[in-house]
C-alpha cells in the first residue's frame, strides 16, 4: 500500500516524490510524476495551493463495468475535464478537491 503524506489542501506525495490529487470524476487518485527521471513526466508550476500540470493528464483504466477514460487539464488549482472523459464531469471545470486523509 502506498503511504501518502499531505503537502497542502489538495496535494499529497509519496516516498518517491510523485504528486497525487483526488479526482472527483473518477472518485480515485491520480499520480503526477514531475522533474527528472524515467517515464512520462509533467511540468509543475511549483504551487502547492494552485497547481498547474502540463501537458494534460490522461488516465485510462479498466473496471468490471468496462474501460474508463479521464482526460483533464489541471490549471491554477482547477480541473478542466475534457469531452473524452467517460465520467459524469466530462466538459466541466471544478476546483481540486481537498485531500482526504485515510482514517
Number of domains the chain contains = 1
Identify whether 100 is part of a domain: no
3-state helix, strand, coil in the chain (%, to 5): 0, 45, 55
Domain containing 45 equals: 5-95
Identify whether 52 is part of a domain: yes
Tens of pLDDT, residue by residue, the chain (103 residues): 568 999 999 999 998 889 999 999 999 999 999 988 888 999 999 999 999 999 999 999 998 888 999 999 999 999 999 999 999 999 999 999 999 876 4
Identify whether 102 is part of a domain: no
What is the pTM (predicted TM-score) of this model? 0.91
Identify whether 70 is part of a domain: yes
Residues 6+ apart with CB under 8 A from 35: 17, 41, 44
Identify whether 67 is part of a domain: yes
Identify whether 26 is part of a domain: yes
Amino acid at each position: 500500500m502506498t503511504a501518502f503524506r499531505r503537502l497542502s489542501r489538495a496535494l499529497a506525495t509519496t516516498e518517491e516524490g510523485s504528486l497525487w490529487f483526488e479526482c472527483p470524476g473518477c472518485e480515485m487518485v491520480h499520480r503526477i510524476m514531475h522533474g527528472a527521471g524515467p517515464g512520462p513526466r509533467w511540468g509543475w508550476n511549483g504551487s502547492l495551493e494552485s497547481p498547474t500540470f502540463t501537458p494534460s493528464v490522461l488516465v485510462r483504466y479498466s473496471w468490471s463495468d468496462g474501460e474508463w477514460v479521464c482526460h483533464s487539464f489541471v490549471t491554477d488549482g482547477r480541473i478542466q475535464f475534457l469531452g473524452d472523459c467517460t465520467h459524469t464531469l466530462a466538459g466541466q471545470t471544478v476546483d481540486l478537491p481537498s485531500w482526504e486523509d485515510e482514517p
